[in-house]
Structure formats: structure tokens, C-alpha cells
Structure 1
């Protein structure tokens, strides 16, 4: 351990104005709301639930979300057990390293960073369109200037990402509470209007659950839960990481499950079983919005417009913070330039890594604007590939947990180290196969998806090759990959 710390110190610049590690006082709810912000629950309710009903298993969609939540909870058993033995900000990168070796670990880190970068790149143009549509509604002036709103959003996210993480956590908490409250009010209005007889799930039969394409429903359901590794990404900034990280992980999944299951159920109740299938099939883009407007009136419709803007803002801020901490972690390990691991003396934030993510954001907006790319097409392709990549990282993490504890002298119990990770591994492998088989539907464009997949796998192979080069040319850095293992 002392040798590893010496390696890390040797590869990291000694700056009097900077801290040695990330600092913060994030509590359980702070981290939970950061994870929820990344998942953008209102965007899932408005945009994905009608699609899951239309192209998935129809009236069985609520049960699909329950099944996916169970799969995520099974994955979290091994994930949180591993977090006690790999206490740094690397998350998937660090966990895969200690189980599958530094080469695979570094390859997975490059792949994870690229996936989050893709999401950021796709998120800004989509958010620009959402905010621009809201501005048009307010002013009555229609202008094709999504890039202007994207730049304004980028500037706000970049400023907040530069400061201490607790400031971002407060902003995210406010935005997410409003989103969840709106969904709850909509569901309450449906329940009061329809009455008890309509709430009875007589239509939720085994036939309904197994109808349509169950595989597609599961695939889309898993992508709705992706991103809760952020609970471990912010470990160094948590108040009591040994307690906070596992608690935040489970709570994030449970809250998402409650929101998604209840929203799907009440969407069907609002239209009636036959009406929900027809509405989701004919107008998936507006089906949920129409229901909210119908039950909450113009006030509810206006609230959705505002909260969709804040939802995209919260999502981009969460992604910015996550990617910055990945860059910080690799820099501290000596894999990336040491200067990127610098921490601000006042704010305790990885400010140089944050600035690099800001550069990525503004360059991506500029390139998409100059090339005339369609914001919706870019968003669908880049976010779809991100979802697939996170599934792949979860597969590698589940395998890593099993192998790590088979070799370890520490044995927390076979349920935590073998049975639950093995069950999640099987489920995630099946989901990954579904993703590959339906990659065109997941991304919207087969040719673009194939190009992005090639880039993702190239990053994995490139990371493995780079790790092998470090082994022979910079062995001290190679030894530091996946630092601070207990």
C-alpha cells in the first residue's frame, strides 16, 4: 500500500494551492439526486414510457420495470460490496481493474469516458431544442437557434462544474424534487378522476406481460436505470462513504422504480388499456404530454415545459461532474497527464478536469452546428450507444466482482459475492445481446450505430494496448492503475 501511494504521489504534481484529494460533504440524498438527474425521470416519463408500451410488451410495461429494478438491485449487491474494498472515485474502472486486471480495467475506463462524452455531446443539442421550444412558446418568435440555447446551458453547467460539488448537488436536488412532484400530482389527478374501479389492474394478466416484444421492453427499461455508478464516482466527496454509497445506490434504484412503475401504470389508467395502446402506438412523442395537459390543464402543461428544460440542465450537469471525476481518477493514477488531477484549493473540485469537459462540450456544439447535424438524430444515436456501453460495463463489473472475491481473503458471504452477481451477470448478458440485436431501434440509425460501436470497442482495445505499453515502459504507472485497493 505504501509503495502504491508513493507511485501516485510521484506521478501527481505538487501544488501548494491545491488539495491532495477531492473534498465534500455529500449526503445520501445529494448523491441520489445526482443519479436521478442523470437519468432525467421526467424525460423518461414523457419520452420513453409511451415507446416501451408501443414497441415493447404493451400493457405489461409496469411489470417490465419491476423486473428490471430487481435486476439492477441484484447488480447493486455485488457493486456496493466491492465499493468497500476499492474506495476511490473510479467506480466501474476501479472495480473492473481489481477483478479482471489493469489492462481490462484501463480499457473499460476509456470506454466509460467515451460513453459519457457521447452523452454530453448528444445532450447539448437536444437540450438546446427543448429550451428553444420553450422560449418560442413564451415569446411567440420561432427561430432556428438551438445552438444559442445549448451554449447558454453549457456556460451555466461549466461554471457550476468548476465549483465544489455540494453547490451542484443543491441545484440538482431542487430540479429533481420538482420533477417528481409533478409526476406525483399528475398520478393523483388521474386517481381522483378515474376512481377506484379504474385503478384495479384487471388488465395486467400474464398474457399482457408476455405480449409484444418483451426483449425490447427490457432493453429500454435497463437504459432507463443506467448511470447509478455515480454513487461510487462521488465516493471521495461523500460524508460517510462506507454507509452513504451503498445506501444511495439502493435508494436511487428504488426511487426510479417507483417513479417509472407508477407513471407507466397511471398512463395506462388515464387512457384505459385499449386507449393507451392506441395512443402510444399512434402518437408516442406526445402521448404522455397530452395526458398531463388533460388532467392538469394549462398549468400542468406549462410546468412540464419548464421542468423539461430543468431536467435536461440537471442531466448535463450530472454528466459533466461524472466525466470530470473519471478524468481526475485516471490522472491521479498517472495514466492521463498529472495536471488534470489538480484540485482547487478553495472549492475542493477537480477543476482542470472540469475545464476539459467544458472544452469537449463547446467543441461538440460547434461541430454539430457547423456540419448542420439534426439535434434529435444526434441525441438518439449518441445516447443509445451510451446506454449499450453502460450495459457492457455492468457485465464486466459483475464478472469482476465474482473473480475478485474468489481470490480475496475477505468473504462477506456467498450471496453478496457469488449468487447475486452471477444472477445479474446472466440478466445483463441477455440484455446486452438484445441491445446488439436491436441496435438500430436503440440508436435510430444502423450505419451511425455501427460507426459509434466501432469507436467504443476501439477505445476498449486501445485502453488495453496502452496498459500493456505502460507495463513495459512505465511500470510504476501500470502498478498504480486502480489505486487504493484494500
Structure 2
């Protein structure tokens, strides 16, 4: 069935009647393996086990934290049920932008696109600023090199990332695969060594006991675990650059959920066993970021710790590259639809990449880095705050997308869908995501590690951007109906 023949697809009016995707398809040849590693790199598993996993244990449900990651994987899996069904009928590779547009209308869709761009940009700016500090620390402490201002390293990394972003996605996918493989192997080595040495006081399965699973704050545990599951939602953004999107995207999505769920739950259990169940929560709470380094030192040794320090830097580079790719494609889609300057929707004749959008993202990031420099902000604190803001915005986007999926599939009833896809899975997902977003709002200061002013500023930015997109769509509906009709390329 062609795009025009699909009765489940809403038909555009006027200037949007022709398929706008025809001349705006990015080119690539990603298989399941490379797509999986591309989106998993954006997740930055080594950085996650260093920063988020200890917080899940200390402030979540204690030694029951491994099951929080299992629960998060289940929620992601439920979301994927309708997400992938909808992806078969919404072929525009706009991610949240496209899904929310066809489900909840162009107004909310444009708001979601603005929110997505800003939240990924916050992550990009946070990671690349912190990367400069991490690189300088690595060079001076491990390699005894000269001290160079963090921003100099950051700008160098920005250039490198920009070059890869300009090229065909297959090129960066291969680099991301090697970087992700290295950090994943090291995390697995850490876990295996703890198991091989029997942990601090013998291995147990007490993390699976109900009274431990529901100890402490299971809600906060789920919140932090859900942040570690981010990445799979980006698969649909790359659909035009995959070898066979109808097979590649679903396999990459479920592959991501399974691998992430197993890796994070097992690593969380290993850390608890490595420190000892009796002391793990109290020990971690004193200094969460030092936890993984501590267990690495004990069970892998100093050489392993040195490798971890190097791989933390490559993990951040991989995450920055993947985030840059996502941002470029959001800018590209908004350019194609006429919301942003049309030049952003151009495709490189040889590379098949959104090269102009990639350059624009690099430029915008450059000015963001300049703002960090001139305001003398602390990149390490900024990383925690902006990454937390990104996590909150992502939960909001997932909730909007889930509602859109349920509405779209129920209203259109496309072939191949059942009540499981249309209602049951989206409703179950909605309950869990709504609870997660509520807890994120209640504990926003903990999530962003900031003062009341930081909390209020980030919340205003997040909801303000969403509302601004909705308002712009309403203005376009009255003043530029031809552009309004192209929102989401429905």
C-alpha cells in the first residue's frame, strides 16, 4: 500500500497534498546492529552506571534497585507496542514531532517538536561542556600533559563532532559502534569480576525479594531507571537512513530495551553485591558518583580504573555525536516543513545527510558554549542540572507521544492493530509514565541538583517552549495556512 492509498493516514489539504517526503529523504544503509549501537551510544551506558545507577540505589528503592530497571524496561516495552505500530503508518521520520502531530493535532505537535529540540540541545550543551573538563582531567592526571582550559577541549570536540555530523550517518555509526562496544565490555568485565570474587560477603538474590523491591522509594527508583532507558525513541528519526525500516527499526527498538534492561539491572545488582548488601545504600549515599570507581578499584584493579577513566571520555564523545545526529534531524524536519528556514531541509548530494542542519546545530552549540564561558558557569554542575532537565522533558515527551499513539490508533484503526495495540498497552504505559512525571515534578530539585531558582527556571523553559510551539502553530493557522498544513507532514 502506498502512502496515498493508506486510508488510516490523515489527508493534508491544499499545498500539502503531494507527498513532501519525496524530495526530502535522507540516505543511509544502516542495519539493525548499527542502528542499535547508534541509539545506545546516545544513552551513554558507562556514564549512566557512574551517575544514575548509584542514585537509583541510594535515593530509590535501595537493594531492590535492580528490579527498578526491569520495571523500566517493561514500561519501555509497553510503549514500544503502540510506538512501532504507529511507526508503520507515520512514515515521516520526525520522531515525537510527527507522532504528536498526527495524534493530538498540529498545534501540540509543533510544541512537542520545539520541546524535543530544546531538551536534546540541553543534553548536548551539558555533555560537551562537561566533556572539556573530563578531557583536561584525563590529560593532566593520567598522561601528565599540560593543563588547558576546558573550553578549548570543548571547542575541539565540537569541531570533530560537527565533521561526523556532516557526513553520511553510516560513518558515525561505525565509530559509535566501536566506542560503545569498548565501554560496554568494560562494564561487563566489572560485573563479572564481582561475581567471580563472590562480592563483599557472598552473592545473594535478596534484591528480588518483594520487601526489598518495595523498600525506600520505588517511585524514585523507577524515575531514575527510566532515565537510563532513553534512546530507543530516536530510532524512528533515522528510519530513512536504514536498510529496511519495517524490520530494522522494530528489531533495534526491542534489542535496545532488552540489552539496556539486562545491562543496567545486572550492573546495579553487581554494585550492591560488590559493596555488600548491609552497607551498600549508606556507602553509596555519601558519594554516589564515586561508587562505580570504587568497585572497579576493588575488583578490577588500578589498571581497570585507568581504562574506565579513558572510556568515560569516549562514552561522552559517543553520546555527544549521537545527540548531534538527533538534533540535526529535528532541525532538518522543521526546515522541510517550513517552520525553520528551508535551507535546513537540504540534503547533501553525495553524503545524503542533513549537512546544513548539522552545521546549524554546531553553530548553535558553539554559542551555547560561549554563554557557559562568559557566565563562568561550572560545567560539572551544569551537566547535572541540564541532564536532569533533559530527563524531565523526555518523560513529558514520552507521555505526549503515548497519548498520541492511543488516540491515533483508536481513531484510525489501521490494519494489523488490535485492542492491545490501540488501548491496553497505551493505557498501561500512560499510568506508569504519568506516575513517573509526577514524581519527577515532586522531586525536580533532586533530579537537577539545583536551587529553587534553577528549578523554576528549568520548569519555565520546558513548559514555556512547549506552549510557544503551540502558540506559533495557532498563529500560522491564521496567517500562513500553507505552512500550518505542512506541520508534521501529515
TM-score (norm 1): 0.94
Distance 2:199 2:445 in 1: 41
* Aligned-pair CA distance for 1:313: 0.2
Instruction: Answer yes or no: is the 8 Å Cα contact 2:476–2:484 preserved in 1.
Output: yes
1:476 aligns with 2:482: yes
Partner residue in 2 for 1:305: 309
Cα deviation for residue 227 of structure 1 reads 2.9
Check the 8 A contact 2:14/2:482 in 1, yes or no. Answer: no
- CA shift for structure 1 position 197: 8.8
**CA positional deviation for 1:450:** 1.2
Aligned counterpart, 1:452 = 458
Is 1:81 the counterpart of 2:85? The answer is yes
Pair 1:32 & 2:36 matched: yes
Alignment of 1:227-376 (within 5 A): 227-376=231-380
Q: 2:439 aligns with which of 387, 409, 434?
A: 434
Q: Distance in 2 between the 1:410 and 1:6 partners?
A: 24
Deviations 1:118-143 (A, max 9, x none): 11111111111111111112343573
After superposition, the C-alpha distances for 1:46-99 in whole angstroms (9 at most, x for unaligned) are 122111111111101001111111011101111111100111220111001111
**Structure 1 residue 177 and structure 2 residue 181: aligned?**
yes
Deviation of residue 426 (structure 1)?
A: 0.7
**1:143 — aligned with what?**
147
Contact kept, 8 Å, 2:237 with 2:326, in 1: the verdict is yes
Q: Is the 1:227–1:390 Cα contact (8 Å) retained in structure 2?
A: no
Give CA deviations for 1:258-279 in whole Å, capped at 9, x if unaligned. Answer: 1100100111111210132232
3-state secondary structure, aligned to 1:199: coil
Distance of aligned partners of 1:459 and 1:205 in 2 relative to their CA distance in 1, 3 Å threshold: same
Where 1:117 maps in the other structure, the secondary structure is helix
Structure 1: tracts of 5 or more residues without a match? none
Distance 1:369 1:60, change over 3 A: same
CA separation of 1:22 and 1:249: change in aligned 2, threshold 3 A: same
SS of the residue corresponding to residue 121 of structure 2 reads helix
Match of 1:67 in 2: 71
Shift of 1:423: 0.3
Counterpart check, 1:461 vs 2:467: yes
- Which of 115, 127, 135 does residue 131 from structure 1 map onto? 135
Q: Aligned to 1:273, what secondary structure does the other structure show?
A: coil
Q: 2: distance between equivalents of 1:348 and 1:5? A: 29
Kept in 2, the 8 Å contact 1:11–1:332? The answer is no
CA offset digits 1:89-122 (Å, max 9, x no partner): 2011100111100111011101111111111111
- Give the root-mean-square deviation of aligned CA atoms: 2.2
Does the Cα contact within 8 Å between 1:8 and 1:332 map onto a contact in 2? Answer: no
Q: Deviations over 1:395-436 (max 9, x none)?
A: 111111111122114251111111001100111001000010
User: Are the equivalent residues in 2 in contact too, given 1:11–1:477 (CA < 8 A)?
Assistant: no
1:271–1:402 CA distance, 2 compared to 1 (3 A): same
Which shows bigger deviation, 319-328 or 370-379?
370-379
Matches within 5 A, 1:195-234: 198-202=202-206, 204-234=208-238
Mapping of residues 366-445 of structure 1, within 5 Å = 366-411=370-415, 412-445=417-450
* Segment drifting more, 186-195 vs 114-123: 186-195
User: Is residue 100–residue 109 contact of structure 2 (8 Å, CA) maintained in 1?
Assistant: yes
Pick from 49, 53, 56: which aligns with 1:52?
A: 56
**Ranges in structure 2 where 5+ consecutive residues have no aligned partner:** 5-10
Using structure 2 for the length normalisation, give the TM-score: 0.94
8 Å CA contact 1:388–1:432 kept in 2: the answer is: yes
Q: What are the Cα deviations for residues 204-249 of structure 1, in whole angstroms up to 9, with x where unaligned?
A: 4222111112221111111111232110010111111111111111
Is contact 2:199-2:276 (8 Å) kept?
no
TM superposition outliers: structure 1 runs of 4+ over 6 Å: 9-12
- The 8 Å contact of residues 102 and 481 in structure 1, kept in 2 or not, is answered as yes
Could you tell me whether the CA contact under 8 Å between 2:111 and 2:468 is conserved in 1? Answer: yes
Offset of 1:299 from its aligned partner? Answer: 1.9
Instruction: State the distance in 1 between where 2:135 and 2:82 align.
Output: 39
- What's the CA shift for 1:8? 5.8
Shift of residue 164, structure 1, vs aligned partner: 0.3
Provide the rounded CA distance (Å) in 2 between the counterparts of 1:196 and 1:113: 44
Task: Measure, in 2, the Cα distance between the counterparts of 1:420 and 1:231.
Answer: 20
Deviation of 1:196 after TM superposition, in Å, equals 12
SS at match of 1:346: coil
